[in-house]
Structure 1
Amino acid sequence: MAMAPTVKVVLGSIAFGIFWVLAVFPAVPFLPIGRTAGSLLGAMLMVIFRVITPEDAYAAIDLPILGLLFGTMVVSAYLERADMFKYLGKLLSWKSRGSKDLLFRICLVSAISSALFTNDTSCVVLTEFILKIARQNNLPPQPFLLALASSANIGSAATPIGNPQNLVIAVQSKISFGKFLFGLVPAMLVGVLVNAAILLCYYWKLLSSEKDVEVAQAAKDMIAEEDVTSHRFSPATMSHLGSMNSQDWNSMIESIPQSPSINGEFGHVETLRNRVSYSENDIRPATSAGTESAKVSNASKELGGVGGIPQRREEGASGRRYVRNGSWMSGMKEGFSNLSLEEKEIPVERWKRLLWKTGVYVVTIGMLIALLMGLNMSWSAITAALALIVLDFKDARPSLEKVSYSLLIFFCGMFITVDGFNKTGIPSALWDWMEPYSRIDSAGGIAVLSLVILILSNVASNVPTVLLLGTRVAASAASISLAEVTKAWLILAWASTVAGNLSLLGSAANLIVCEQARRAQFFGYNLSFWSHLRFGLPSTLVVTAIGLLLIRN
């Protein structure tokens, strides 16, 4: 492709440069708008600068990739609700034989779960659990966090749904799910084992030392308690409930219609107010707690005869409150009948949940079978997502809220920005210069190509690297042999994915583990850039090299 006019090249480079800076450093001081807004800004500048037309910009958005991303995120949300990741967490600690055994288990569980449910999802749900296990057993968290992040990246290379760049490769190359899987599974399995061996060698002394030394080492990186914040998901529609104080509760309670003539509802309102007061007393000093409880007791006595209606409450076996407004015996009978109904409902609810969880697992397995059969990956994932929504038989908003729509928007902007940058001719010119040295018909060419992918993936991020190099690498392989095209795509998938282990900024999974660990309540830990790089650099080079020897086309 010939170079575009100079003005278009300059303006396109500026737009791509802005996108790159905000994608790699989303909180830069001069424009802290984040990755998603940065990708949209880059796309908009490409259109405004007339590097790309509005029609071409819309055409650049790859809907099959977005559909596959959306479907897999919805399926992952339902799997999380079905306790899939809780079971994986229990598997980590089940009959564990020590710190080294735990490290090896984390590598395997993280790799397998990432291949099936994406690396980001696995890191989100397993990070705090691993921190908890490490702290409870007085183990240093660092090797286990590195095992989680690095194994998640390596494991995600095995399938098209393991990470975003593999989604792009699978859609653009039209390689079937089964062919993709069988081509990279050997490299993934050996890569995970080699990565675990490097971790064990690197941290052998630390994992073998006495517990008091381990605790001291772990304490060095522990975050102060006041700096730790919870990362629990809280839907926006319910966020106001968690921030209410006792005055808010009292005002809300007072807004309830208070009619003393309807079966003691006024007494029920006062019970709510008293419960709020009791909850406040639990966190106050003992001296003030006694005074406040006395006030509550006196207030309740004064309210006992409001409206001339004597109100006496009895505590039934079921823990329910009954206001005496008629026959005491009838209230007791009603309490026992309600208790028996609840006891009957508990097994029913358990069976319903068990059947629902089984349905979730069956639908997920069906999706994987459809992918292995070579059916359309995007529509298979969307169909599975909709099947789970229907199976749930309730408002799907809580599950749909867990979809990362910002990631989908980021992809839209990135597609447009990268397509505009391609139209400047710069990527083609650079590839024309590198292509003679990067042909995959020789070991040296594969090594050079892999090194270029490793560097670009850490400089420009792995998904833009795949978008920039994908078709060019495939075209170069096609000039050698049509049979080499699949191998070229798989090399790109392997190298761009494992490249994420090189540095902390190499992949989103690394950043997720780092942030989740830092914000984890009670178990906060700071995984620094340099501590990751010391392990990540040798591990990435060794695992990438070994995996390249095992890729099958």
Structure 2
Amino acid sequence: MMNSLVKVILGSIAFAIFWVLAVFPAVPFLPIGRTAGSLLGALLMVVFRILDPVDAYDAIDLEILALLFGTMVVSVYLERADMFQYLGKFLSWKSTGMKDLICRICVVSAVSSALFTNDTSCIVLTEFVLKIAREKNIAPRTLLLALASSANIGSSATPIGNPRNLVIVVESGLFSFGSFMTGMLPAMLVGLVLNALILLVMFWKVLSTLKEDEEDVNSHRLLPATMFHVPSNLNGNGNAGHADTLGLESRAFSDEHEATHLVVHEMSECDGVANTSTNWRKILWKTCVYLVMVGMLVSLLMGLNMSRTATGAALALIVLGFEDARPSLEKVSYSLLIFFCGMFITVEGFERTGIPSSLWDYTKRHVQVTSAKGVAVLALVILVLSNSVSNVPTVLLLGARLADSKASMSLDDLKKAWLILAWVSTVSGNLSLLGSAANLIVCEQARGSPHLAYNLSFWRHLKFGVPSTIVVIAVGLTLIS
């Protein structure tokens, strides 16, 4: 039921402010950014008495925040262990051409996004992609589109691939890590292939006419330092009287040089031993980081609590680092965690207005996952909301509706509905540049890159995003069980 008219209006205003700042974080009249906009929306929900402070605190899902924090810390330590550097090198290793490079970017971006979140993958891999584009002397548009779109598609495969999946797994209570991945993996794999094919077809002529330049590798030969000494009292007049003095000075210099050479040789041996020891410690530490990552993934596949597993893996990496963890913890995106806190409160306040329930009551008779028409209507609703309200609030709003439908739906149909929500809300981020944070990350990174500054405009993205999103979503819906 709709709440009182005053609360409906005030709650809608608070949510509208949150939405505008979330989608357009630098609006001229209030350029405070997404995180501050989220907190402002949450504050207005309390000030307008839509929520009391206790309800506002209760709206924050600590389990999701813990899972986000844990996965971000693990990603930071994997980056320190050169995981993403190895992935970046794989992109150009023995590449046979631009089409091969596009396919590699799609695969690497999707796999890394499924394991380390799409935002993290885009932050790290964008620089590698731009560096390759500079070395090949090509416009990076196709490479950037491959990176961003594949990151969104790949992140749909696992609960830790993006925040939307985290919300769905936690809020539904129906999925383990393995069961969610089993339901989403076929659609992700086929969608990834289709997305790559659409990229190749749309840009085939451009990719075919590009000259495949050899990678510019600068080889530097390291030469040992040469010690040379010029006697200070060397006279240039050539008098024979100075010959004995010069000979004595030369012998003295020779003795001094041999002694110095001996000391340098001993020091270099000590440095070599120290460097070897340091290298072994680094290799051992990297091995431990990768083992912790594998252990975390195995634990998640075994069905252990995801937030506890992720935070446990993060703490294990901090302890294994055996040093001050502050530099690593400072790389965690606390602004994202704060944004989620404000968003949880704002969406809960909007729920209290009764508007989402009224809209759902109007459309739910058309949304039946047992028929193709019902699935299409549900997908269309998710697609429109994800590109207007933004995808995470869409998941929170529609997720609450699905949770209320437990009594009227079978367990299989309910799981299918949650998976459709996960699939469409994730892939719909490819529709436009504003549809996903991963798209914006790639765009902003490319615009200010020291390697090759490039502006991926809204329209350039839209020309590829619309056909790719529609095809990938449609085919993926047929594979979700």
**Same fold at TM > 0.5:** yes
User: Structure 1: how far apart are the matches of 2:138 and 2:480?
Assistant: 36
1:291 paired residue number: none
1:332–1:100 CA distance, 2 compared to 1 (3 A): closer
Identify unmatched segments of 5+ residues in structure 2: 214-255
Cα deviation 1:373-432 (Å, max 9, x = unaligned): 111100100000000000010000111011000000000000000000000100000000
Of 417, 440, 445 in structure 2, the residue corresponding to residue 516 of structure 1 is 445
Cα deviation 1:93-147 (Å, max 9, x = unaligned): 1221100011011111110110000000111111111111122123331111000
Q: Shift of residue 209 of structure 1?
A: 1.2
2:372 paired residue number: 443
User: Structure 1: how far apart are the matches of 2:95 and 2:262?
Assistant: 51
Q: Shift of residue 346 of structure 1?
A: 1.3
Q: Do the aligned residues in 1 keep the contact of 2:127 with 2:451 (CA within 8 Å)?
A: no
Q: Shift of residue 3 of structure 1?
A: 1.1
1:191-202 to structure 2, matched below 5 A, reads 191-202=191-202
Q: Shift of residue 210 of structure 1?
A: 4.4
1:178 paired residue number: 178
User: Structure 2: how far apart are the matches of 1:81 and 1:344?
Assistant: 24
1:341 matched to 2:270? The reply is yes
2:14 paired residue number: 15
User: Structure 1: how far apart are the matches of 2:3 and 2:162?
Assistant: 33
Q: Shift of residue 332 of structure 1?
A: 6.3
1:478–1:135 CA distance, 2 compared to 1 (3 A): farther
Q: Do the aligned residues in 2 keep the contact of 1:487 with 1:551 (CA within 8 Å)?
A: yes
1:430-509 to structure 2, matched below 5 A, reads 430-476=359-405, 478-509=407-438
Q: Shift of residue 460 of structure 1?
A: 1.0
Cα deviation 1:202-256 (Å, max 9, x = unaligned): 00011011439x9xxxxxxxxxxxxxxxxxxxxxxxxxxxxxxxxxxxxxxxxxx
User: Structure 2: how far apart are the matches of 1:43 and 1:458?
Assistant: 21
1:385 matched to 2:384? The reply is no
1:209 paired residue number: 209
Identify unmatched segments of 5+ residues in structure 1: 215-326
2:5 paired residue number: 6
Q: Do the aligned residues in 1 keep the contact of 2:26 with 2:32 (CA within 8 Å)?
A: yes
2:57 paired residue number: 58
Q: Shift of residue 487 of structure 1?
A: 1.0
1:44 paired residue number: 43
Paired AA for residue 114 in structure 1: S
1:81 matched to 2:80? The reply is yes
User: Structure 1: how far apart are the matches of 2:93 and 2:64?
Assistant: 38
Paired AA for residue 532 in structure 1: H
Q: Shift of residue 477 of structure 1?
A: 6.3
Paired AA for residue 476 in structure 2: G
1:367 matched to 2:296? The reply is yes
Q: Shift of residue 337 of structure 1?
A: 3.0
User: Structure 2: how far apart are the matches of 1:33 and 1:440?
Assistant: 41
Q: Shift of residue 441 of structure 1?
A: 1.2
Q: Do the aligned residues in 2 keep the contact of 1:478 with 1:485 (CA within 8 Å)?
A: no
1:30 matched to 2:45? The reply is no
Q: Shift of residue 333 of structure 1?
A: 5.4
User: Structure 2: how far apart are the matches of 1:378 and 1:48?
Assistant: 32
User: Structure 2: how far apart are the matches of 1:472 and 1:360?
Assistant: 40
SS of the aligned residue for 1:211 comes to coil
User: Structure 1: how far apart are the matches of 2:404 and 2:56?
Assistant: 24
Q: Do the aligned residues in 2 keep the contact of 1:75 with 1:364 (CA within 8 Å)?
A: yes
Paired AA for residue 384 in structure 1: A
Paired AA for residue 199 in structure 1: L
Q: Shift of residue 91 of structure 1?
A: 1.2
TM-score between the two structures when normalised by the length of structure 2: 0.89
Percentage of pairs with the same residue: 68
Q: Shift of residue 474 of structure 1?
A: 4.2
1:109-188 to structure 2, matched below 5 A, reads 109-174=108-173, 175-188=175-188
Paired AA for residue 7 in structure 2: K
Q: Do the aligned residues in 2 keep the contact of 1:441 with 1:480 (CA within 8 Å)?
A: no
Q: Shift of residue 439 of structure 1?
A: 1.5
User: Structure 1: how far apart are the matches of 2:334 and 2:412?
Assistant: 37
Q: Do the aligned residues in 2 keep the contact of 1:119 with 1:162 (CA within 8 Å)?
A: yes
Q: Shift of residue 338 of structure 1?
A: 2.4
User: Structure 2: how far apart are the matches of 1:109 and 1:210?
Assistant: 22
User: Structure 2: how far apart are the matches of 1:43 and 1:206?
Assistant: 48
Q: Shift of residue 178 of structure 1?
A: 0.3
User: Structure 2: how far apart are the matches of 1:169 and 1:123?
Assistant: 22
Deviates more, 1:478-487 or 1:424-433: 478-487
2:287 paired residue number: 358
1:160–1:210 CA distance, 2 compared to 1 (3 A): closer
Of 386, 404, 417 in structure 1, the residue corresponding to residue 346 of structure 2 is 417
Q: Shift of residue 158 of structure 1?
A: 0.5
CA RMSD of aligned residues (A): 1.6
User: Structure 2: how far apart are the matches of 1:200 and 1:30?
Assistant: 42
Q: Do the aligned residues in 2 keep the contact of 1:99 with 1:139 (CA within 8 Å)?
A: no
Paired AA for residue 462 in structure 1: N
Q: Do the aligned residues in 2 keep the contact of 1:153 with 1:500 (CA within 8 Å)?
A: yes
User: Structure 2: how far apart are the matches of 1:477 and 1:434?
Assistant: 17
2:337 paired residue number: 408
Paired AA for residue 127 in structure 2: E
Paired AA for residue 150 in structure 2: S
Q: Shift of residue 480 of structure 1?
A: 3.0
Q: Shift of residue 336 of structure 1?
A: 3.7
SS of the aligned residue for 1:521 comes to coil
User: Structure 2: how far apart are the matches of 1:76 and 1:11?
Assistant: 40
Q: Do the aligned residues in 2 keep the contact of 1:439 with 1:476 (CA within 8 Å)?
A: no
SS of the aligned residue for 2:369 comes to coil
1:310 paired residue number: none
SS of the aligned residue for 2:203 comes to helix
Q: Do the aligned residues in 1 keep the contact of 2:134 with 2:451 (CA within 8 Å)?
A: no
User: Structure 2: how far apart are the matches of 1:92 and 1:199?
Assistant: 17
Q: Shift of residue 31 of structure 1?
A: 0.6
Paired AA for residue 176 in structure 1: S
Paired AA for residue 527 in structure 1: L
